[in-house]
Structure 1
């Protein structure tokens, strides 16, 4: 079984399918300012939609830092997304993952598109 850090880092790096087996039946994913997803089915649908969009995009993580506690992990990232139609965009995100007995029970995601000059 992977550690909570490995589960969180897989999700934050868009390797969603690696996490599906560890979603708690009452998992909740809050995309701050956008949506609240409840239950594994809603989370998986959103992940699969994201993977479909990402299949046409290259992703480069410029920052990927994790902070790990006993039952929570925070992952702070800056990613550059590029596809054939546009120059690309930079997105800064912080995901906070909550666990109970190894099950992922909560995800809170903060994301914002940033200018290239703001990449640090």
Structure 2
């Protein structure tokens, strides 16, 4: 997978596709919410988020993928629906930094929930 494909998979909740490309000492910061240090902590959080995704219908929309050298930026939206009703709608931007082994070294996520 290319760096943009890895990043897009992660941003769209396809964690199983992306988890083998996460560096052991990676950091994922969800700005103003949480920080996960190390691959194990990131994968554990992905597993929890993945369980939530199974409980709702998810509609991800990728709006832009910008890639340069070892960095990828992705912005888009996610809509979560349960029993035909919108549970949540998020506008997000994820910034990925890759190491020289093409593994995710750092993710910075900005997530804005609509009211």
TM-score normalized by structure 1?
0.88
> Within 1, Cα distance between the matches of 2:26 and 2:8?
17
CA RMSD of aligned residues (A): 1.4
Q: Deviations over 1:90-113 (max 9, x none)?
A: 110000000012011000000011
TM-score normalized by structure 2?
0.92
Q: Secondary structure at the match of 2:95?
A: strand
**Where do 5+ consecutive residues of structure 1 fail to align?**
116-120
Q: Deviations over 1:48-82 (max 9, x none)?
A: 00000110111112443111111100110112110
Residue aligning to 2:13: 14
> Within 1, Cα distance between the matches of 2:37 and 2:62?
29
| 2:81 is the counterpart of 1:76 | no
**Where do 5+ consecutive residues of structure 2 fail to align?**
none
Residue aligning to 1:118: none
Q: Aligned residue pairs: how many? A: 114
Q: Secondary structure at the match of 2:55?
A: coil
Q: What does 1:42-61 correspond to in 2, within 5 Å?
A: 42-61=41-60
Residue aligning to 1:94: 93
> Within 1, Cα distance between the matches of 2:10 and 2:26?
14
> Within 1, Cα distance between the matches of 2:61 and 2:8?
14
Residue aligning to 2:26: 27
